[in-house]
Amino acid sequence: MITAFLPCRKGSQRIPDKNIKPFAGIEGGLLKIKLDQLLQCENIDRIVLSSNDERILEYSESLNETKIVIDHRPDHLGSSSTTTDSLINYVPTLINDGHVLWTHVTSPFMNSQDYDALIDSYFKGLNEGYDSLMTVLKLQGFIWNKQGPISYKRDGLKWPMTQNIEPLYEVDSGAFISSVHNYKAYHDRIGNNPYLFEQEKIKSIDIDWPDDFTFAEELWKR
């Protein structure tokens, strides 16, 4: 069984009400978009929506979808200080068996076909020695920290062709798939050997800042 876990805590410090405010003219916003996408997935058996925001809970209940299981999350697990690790340890108290697809409303450009493809890749990966999956954005360019370049060396060509640079991968928070067993064993939403599922740049867009919201709205309209 595949259960989608959709966390939507109350409040947002950077984008007030970002989960449910109108998005590109759509009432219900990012929450409506994501629930519509997940409900259309053939490979998802149920959706656990976890929130401590009454508006989000009321909207979800109004859909009367039997596939949606609503979790009234305790406030101590829905504040700005709640760590992702704390929420990870909460998941097995809601989902007892099978596999969990953890995703976010802030990845609106991942659609139902994408999720079905992820799930297919996850199960294929289990047969190949992987124990989980997470979506990533491939970074193949001149990446530095404050001490210097970390994606390439400047002792040869100072500016090599980017296609010859060893790629790095940014976790884009689009989706994580793992078994409930792994959640309990590792206290994590991935296992010890996750398959890195490369996404197109547009699929990797994660709405976290006000500029992200505005940019994503314009892309959605187009």
Sequence-distant (≥ 6) Cβ neighbours of residue 155 within 8 angstroms: none
CATH of domain 2-137+171-221: 3.90.550.10
Single pTM value for the model: 0.94
pLDDT at res. 103: 98
pLDDT at res. 63: 93
Residue-wise pLDDT tens digits, 79-123: 888 899 999 999 999 999 999 999 999 999 999 999 999 999 999
* Conformation bin of residue 152: beta by default, left when phi > 0, alpha when psi is -120 to 50: beta
CA neighbor of 45 nearest in space, from 69, 75, 24 = 69
pLDDT at res. 80: 80
The whole-angstrom separation of Cα 187 and Cα 35 is: 26
pLDDT at res. 11: 75
Could you say which residues of the chain have pLDDT below 50? none
